[in-house]
């Protein structure tokens, strides 16, 4: 049912290892207190091993790479994107919803695009920790950081709704499309988007994330200087994933310094090959409508009547084309994608605040039931990273059944166990799978999302947890005044997540801290409870309206 690696790739890697001899020495995480700055990073005598860590051109499996038209926002935008301090949005133009007063409205449509939103800082207070923030609590030192992050803004995936809608418009144009009013721009609109690749704005997101993490955690590089090693950062082989890791590394280390100061490990992402960063490639139930894709099904049902009034308004301004709910979603996605890729989109002006709220809920339903607690396969898919995190916490290689690739996860060369800084790039679905596997229930607090569209009180919001460049950070801390002194906490897009309601033995700490050993024990128990083979390969049926805690129901 599973493959660890293509034979040729495995043979090449093992040959490289044999030629290289002894693996690099790993390091022990140490407190930054009193750290010397006399020997700056990188340590002398270290360099990237291009044989052991081949580049994208050698690894292959880049996925589709069609490019789109160059952006020309200076010609197309209705307003200029002045930089008013919102680095997460600049230099994109952010239009107001249809019917809003542009001078008075504070409604930010980009925060209602689900997984197509640009990431923005969340607040710990939103999850029950009003006094917490990502800074090290007084009396504590951050000794280790683990980062799991998503690529930045990209073009649509191949064959997605925007391209289908563009073809529909093109066909209508040939047979007599007539538009007026809000839709006048469609008369000469053409589809300019590529597929899969990062957009210019998307490249900047991960570069800036790298800068941010160097500013916050640069002191941890002292550990590498002392041990005469350089870190291994990981990503997948899709082109946007390789560029994401490179952009992050460029922001973290500088250009061209990153080329010599970090080894970027590229794991093959393709059907049938184990990869913790792409577990859906081997989890057979992932894309089955009654199992891992129930979210897509329920989201599409919700959208059928969610945009009726807007569809009627737009239909009154067009002849020769018949708009459907599928078209409404496609046009909303064009708003998101064109803004990210071209800097501005006329489609954004077509939709009201209520439309954007429904657009967000469409994504909420999809992700909650595809990759969150309402999914029967989410925890199984997130188990790979869960087991890898546990391995790094304990200093023991992972052996549990999951999507991780044991060809790489059993040697300090490719899977060092004691780095002070880890950075793994992946996809948004996998970040959410991982948060579910970690059982961070504060992120999903409330009853299961209502499939009929009656928005219930639940803390889960897709644009907050799975936006472009979303990131999940684990801090390991030394707190001498606490017992035990070794503590840990989890942070999602700058919000510290409480553990006392989900991780047995954790106190209701105002800074979200919990004993390191206790949390590791809880995570080990959680991993043992997740049956990867059953959840990903068994014959069962799941449905919306349930909180499965990311696990398959037992028949």
Between the alpha carbon of residue 1 and those of residues 284, 358, 461, 472, the distances in Å are: 9, 39, 34, 30
DSSP code at position 91: T
Structure tokens at 510: 């105002």
The predicted structure's pLDDT at residue 63: 74
Tell me if 233 sits within 8 A of 266, measured CB to CB. no
- Dihedral angle at the C-alpha atoms of 524, 273, 374, 390, nearest 10 degrees? 20
The predicted structure's pLDDT at residue 399: 78
Tell me if 369 sits within 8 A of 294, measured CB to CB. yes
Going by C-alpha positions, the residue among 201, 205, 275 that lies closest to residue 237 is 275
Residue 161, in any domain of the structure: no
Higher pLDDT, 21 or 214: 214
Residue 336, in any domain of the structure: no
How distant is the alpha carbon of residue 348 from its chain centre? Answer: 24
> pLDDT band for position 36 (50/70/90)?
very low
Tell me if 410 sits within 8 A of 397, measured CB to CB. yes
Higher pLDDT, 454 or 425: 425
Higher pLDDT, 170 or 30: 170
How distant is the alpha carbon of residue 151 from its chain centre? Answer: 6
| Residues in contact with 329: Cβ distance below 8 Å, sequence separation at least 6, in sequence order | 161, 303, 307, 359, 362
What one-character-per-residue DSSP string does 328-380 give? HHHHHHHHHHHHHHHS--GGGGG--HHHHHHHHHHHHHHHHHHHSTT-SSHHH
The predicted structure's pLDDT at residue 76: 55
Angle at 433 between CA 162 and CA 273, to 5 degrees: 80
pTM check: above 0.75: yes
Rounded distance between C-alpha atoms, residue 6 and residue 452, angstroms = 44
Tell me if 85 sits within 8 A of 457, measured CB to CB. no
Q: Please state, for a pLDDT cut of 70, what percent of the chain lies above it.
A: 86
φ, ψ of residue 80 in degrees (nearest 5): -95, 140
Burial zone of 204 (CB within 10 Å; 0-12 exposed, 13-18 middle, 19+ buried): buried
Mean pLDDT, residues 168-176: 95
Rounded distance between C-alpha atoms, residue 127 and residue 122, angstroms = 9
Q: Which CATH number is 450's domain given?
A: 3.40.50.1240
Is pLDDT of 261 > 90?
Answer: yes
Between the alpha carbon of residue 238 and those of residues 55, 245, 266, 341, 487, the distances in Å are: 12, 11, 9, 19, 36
Predicted confidence (pLDDT) per residue in 403-438, tens digit: 999 888 888 889 999 999 999 999 999 999 999 999
Predicted confidence (pLDDT) per residue in 356-406, tens digit: 999 999 999 999 999 999 999 999 999 999 999 999 999 999 876 899 998
Burial zone of 244 (CB within 10 Å; 0-12 exposed, 13-18 middle, 19+ buried): buried
The predicted structure's pLDDT at residue 28: 32
Is pLDDT of 35 > 60?
Answer: no
| Residues in contact with 511: Cβ distance below 8 Å, sequence separation at least 6, in sequence order | 129, 131, 132, 137, 489, 496
Is pLDDT of 75 > 80?
Answer: no
The predicted structure's pLDDT at residue 64: 76
- Work out how many domains the chain is built from and give that number: 1
The predicted structure's pLDDT at residue 45: 64
Phi-psi region of 254 (alpha: psi -120 to 50; beta: other; left: phi over 0): left
The predicted structure's pLDDT at residue 78: 57
Q: Cβ atoms within 10 A of the Cβ of 532, count?
A: 23
The predicted structure's pLDDT at residue 59: 75
Predicted confidence (pLDDT) per residue in 288-311, tens digit: 999 999 999 999 999 999 999 999
Higher pLDDT, 477 or 81: 477
The predicted structure's pLDDT at residue 312: 98
Average pLDDT, the chain: 88
Higher pLDDT, 20 or 251: 251
Residue 104, in any domain of the structure: yes
Is pLDDT of 27 > 50?
Answer: no
Predicted confidence (pLDDT) per residue in 505-517, tens digit: 999 999 999 999 9
Phi-psi region of 59 (alpha: psi -120 to 50; beta: other; left: phi over 0): alpha
> What residues does 267 pair with on adjacent strands?
236
Tell me if 359 sits within 8 A of 462, measured CB to CB. no
Residue 339, in any domain of the structure: no
Going by C-alpha positions, the residue among 436, 333, 438 that lies closest to residue 115 is 333
Between the alpha carbon of residue 324 and those of residues 23, 29, 298, 309, 550, the distances in Å are: 58, 56, 17, 11, 33
Query: What residue ranges in 180-252 does DSSP mark as E strands?
Result: 232-236
Tell me if 477 sits within 8 A of 140, measured CB to CB. yes
How distant is the alpha carbon of residue 231 from its chain centre? Answer: 21
Q: Which domain holds residue 367?
A: 1-15+86-156+193-307+351-550
Rounded distance between C-alpha atoms, residue 531 and residue 523, angstroms = 14
| Residues in contact with 164: Cβ distance below 8 Å, sequence separation at least 6, in sequence order | 330
Structure tokens at 81: 């994107």
Between the alpha carbon of residue 476 and those of residues 140, 212, 220, 512, 529, the distances in Å are: 10, 18, 12, 12, 24
| Residues in contact with 117: Cβ distance below 8 Å, sequence separation at least 6, in sequence order | 110, 111, 336, 463, 467, 468
Residue 411, in any domain of the structure: yes
DSSP code at position 282: T
Tell me if 497 sits within 8 A of 442, measured CB to CB. yes
Residue 24, in any domain of the structure: no
Mean pLDDT, residues 144-150: 98
The rounded radius of gyration (Å) of the Cα atoms in the chain is 24
Residue 101, in any domain of the structure: yes
Rounded distance between C-alpha atoms, residue 271 and residue 87, angstroms = 37
Find tokens 């007084």 and name the residue: 138
Rounded distance between C-alpha atoms, residue 370 and residue 276, angstroms = 17
Residue 405, in any domain of the structure: yes
């Amino acid at each position: 049912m599973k493959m660890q690696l293509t034979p040729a790739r495995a043979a090449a890697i093992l040959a490289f290892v044999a030629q290289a001899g002894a693996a690099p020495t790993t390091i022990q995480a140490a407190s930054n207190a009193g750290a010397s700055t006399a020997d700056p990073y990188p340590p002398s005598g270290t360099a990237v091993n291009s044989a052991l860590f081949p580049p994208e051109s050698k690894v292959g499996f880049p996925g589709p790479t069609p490019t789109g038209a160059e952006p020309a926002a200076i010609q197309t935008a209705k307003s200029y994107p002045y930089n008013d301090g919102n680095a997460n949005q600049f230099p994109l133009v952010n239009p107001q919803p249809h019917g809003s007063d542009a001078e008075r409205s504070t409604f930010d449509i980009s925060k209602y695009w689900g997984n197509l939103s640009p990431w923005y800082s969340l607040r710990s207070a939103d999850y029950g920790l009003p006094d917490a923030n990502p800074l090290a609590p007084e009396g504590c030192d951050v000794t280790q950081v683990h980062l799991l992050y998503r690529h930045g803004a990209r073009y649509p995936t191949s064959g997605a709704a925007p391209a289908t809608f563009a073809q529909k418009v093109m066909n209508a144009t040939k047979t007599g499309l007539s538009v007026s009013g809000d839709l006048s721009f469609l008369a000469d609109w053409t589809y300019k988007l590529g597929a899969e690749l990062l957009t210019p704005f998307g490249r900047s997101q991960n570069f800036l994330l790298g800068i941010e993490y160097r500013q916050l955690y640069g002191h941890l590089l002292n550990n590498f200087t002392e041990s005469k090693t350089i870190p291994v950062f990981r990503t997948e082989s899709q082109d946007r994933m390789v560029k994401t890791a490179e952009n992050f590394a460029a922001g973290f280390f500088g250009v061209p310094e990153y080329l010599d100061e970090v080894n970027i490990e590229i794991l093959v992402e393709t059907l049938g090959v184990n990869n913790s960063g792409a577990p859906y490639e081997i989890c057979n139930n992932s894309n089955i409508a009654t199992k891992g894709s129930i979210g897509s099904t329920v989201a599409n049902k919700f959208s059928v009547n969610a945009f009726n009034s807007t569809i009627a308004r737009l239909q009154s301004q067009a002849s020769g084309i018949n708009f459907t709910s599928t078209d409404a979603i496609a046009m909303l996605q064009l708003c998101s994608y064109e803004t990210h890729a071209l800097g501005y989109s006329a489609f954004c002006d077509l939709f009201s605040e209520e439309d954007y709220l429904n657009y967000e809920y469409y994504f909420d339903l999809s992700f909650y039931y595809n990759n969150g607690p309402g999914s029967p396969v989410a925890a199984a898919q997130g188990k790979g990273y869960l087991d890898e995190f546990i391995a790094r916490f304990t200093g023991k290689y992972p052996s549990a059944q999951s999507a991780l690739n044991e060809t790489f996860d059993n040697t300090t060369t490719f899977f060092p166990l004691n780095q002070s800084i880890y950075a793994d790039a992946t996809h948004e679905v996998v970040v959410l799978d991982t948060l579910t596997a970690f059982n961070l229930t504060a992120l999903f607090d409330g009853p299961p999302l209502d499939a009929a569209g009656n928005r219930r009180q639940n803390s889960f919001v897709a644009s907050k947890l799975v936006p472009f460049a979303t990131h999940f950070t684990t801090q390991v801390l030394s707190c001498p005044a606490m017992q035990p002194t070794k503590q840990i906490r989890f942070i999602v897009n700058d919000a510290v997540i409480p553990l006392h309601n989900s991780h047995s033995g954790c106190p209701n700490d105002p800074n979200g801290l919990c004993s390191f050993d206790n949390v590791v024990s809880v995570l080990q128990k959680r991993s043992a409870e997740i049956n990867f083979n059953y959840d990903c390969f068994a014959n069962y049926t799941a449905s919306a309206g349930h909180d499965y805690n990311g696990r398959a129901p037992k028949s």
